[in-house]
């Protein structure tokens, strides 16, 4: 399975930084008896690996080669690849940069590198053969993409940063068969790449008869892309130490 990490954004909400925001130190881990800082994106890398990814593709901007230097080509049995998004053009444009790597018969999981969420095995609870979003309950869903689903989990709509969302559940990651990923890309092209946000593309997919599902296994979710979120992340981790 491929994991895709869109990491080409400029991180304007938490600037100035002298490095890519995906490498922002949050928490610590013990490695070989030594305590070291842990980059925020390491949490997603770990969760993708726990979810079944043996290969991870970072989508980076031309100026984010520090991510390549940090991770290299392989970490803890997971192979890494890198593709470039020449300019920031939205989440859909970013994740579809990885499309040539992903076969139609291979599942793919996508997450956001400046978030920390629990449970750590959340993606492992999603099926490989169904387009599913890992969803989380939050207190301020208006700042995120709220997922409206029926009792069976079938998604009716994703409300993108709505001022009055109909749900307090937001999506934090998703898993899909490679075939669905390719079909979403084809729909995005048909819509002349007008979808900057994934939610609007998924709504169009659903309107065409496609299915997407909510998997409400999420317990805690923090966006570390702001100073407020950074403080929340430290509180969420609460002294948790990860052993390598």
CB 216 within 8 A of CB 126: no
> What is the mean predicted confidence (pLDDT) over 205-234?
92
Distance CA 25, CA 137 (A): 25
Q: Which domains does the chain have, with CATH numbers?
A: 2-236 (3.90.550.10)
Q: What is the DSSP string of 4-42?
A: EEEE----GGG---SS-GGG-EEEEEEETTEEEEEEHHH
pLDDT band at 29; cut points 50, 70, 90:
confident
Residue spans of alpha helices (H) in 51-197:
65-71, 91-96, 178-190
Residue 32's pLDDT band (cuts 50, 70, 90): confident
**Per-residue model confidence as pLDDT tens digits over 134-168:** 999 999 999 999 999 999 999 999 999 999 999 99
Q: Average pLDDT for residues 65-88, to the nearest whole number?
A: 95
Percentage of the chain with pLDDT > 90?
81
Q: Please state the φ and ψ torsions of residue 100, each to the nearest 5 degrees.
A: -60, -20
Q: What is the arithmetic mean of pLDDT over 200-216?
A: 98
- pLDDT of residue 17 exceeding 60, the answer is yes
Q: What pLDDT is stored for residue 233 in this prediction? A: 83
């Amino acid at each position: 399975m491929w994991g895709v990490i869109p990491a080409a954004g400029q991180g304007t909400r938490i600037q100035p930084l002298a490095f890519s925001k995906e490498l922002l130190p949050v928490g610590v881990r013990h490695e070989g008896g030594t305590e070291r800082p842990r980059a925020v994106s390491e949490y997603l890398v770990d969760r993708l690996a726990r979810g079944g990814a043996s290969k991870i593709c970072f989508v980076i901007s031309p100026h984010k080669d520090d991510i390549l230097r940090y991770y290299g080509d392989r970490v803890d049995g997971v192979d890494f690849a890198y593709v470039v998004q020449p300019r920031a053009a939205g989440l859909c444009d970013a994740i579809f940069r990885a499309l040539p790597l992903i076969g139609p018969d291979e599942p793919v999981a996508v997450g956001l590198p400046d978030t920390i969420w629990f449970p750590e095995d959340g993606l492992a609870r999603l099926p490989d053969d169904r387009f599913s979003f890992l969803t989380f309950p939050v207190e301020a869903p208006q700042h995120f993409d709220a997922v409206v689903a029926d009792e069976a989990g079938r998604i009716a709509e994703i409300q993108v940063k709505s001022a009055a969302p109909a749900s307090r559940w937001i999506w934090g990651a998703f898993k899909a068969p490679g075939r669905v990923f390719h079909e979403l890309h084809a729909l995005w092209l048909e819509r002349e790449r007008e979808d900057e946000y994934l939610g609007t593309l998924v709504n169009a997919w659903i309107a065409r008869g496609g299915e997407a599902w909510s998997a409400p296994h999420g317990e805690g979710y923090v966006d570390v892309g702001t100073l407020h979120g950074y403080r929340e992340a430290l509180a969420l981790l609460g002294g948790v130490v990860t052993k390598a």
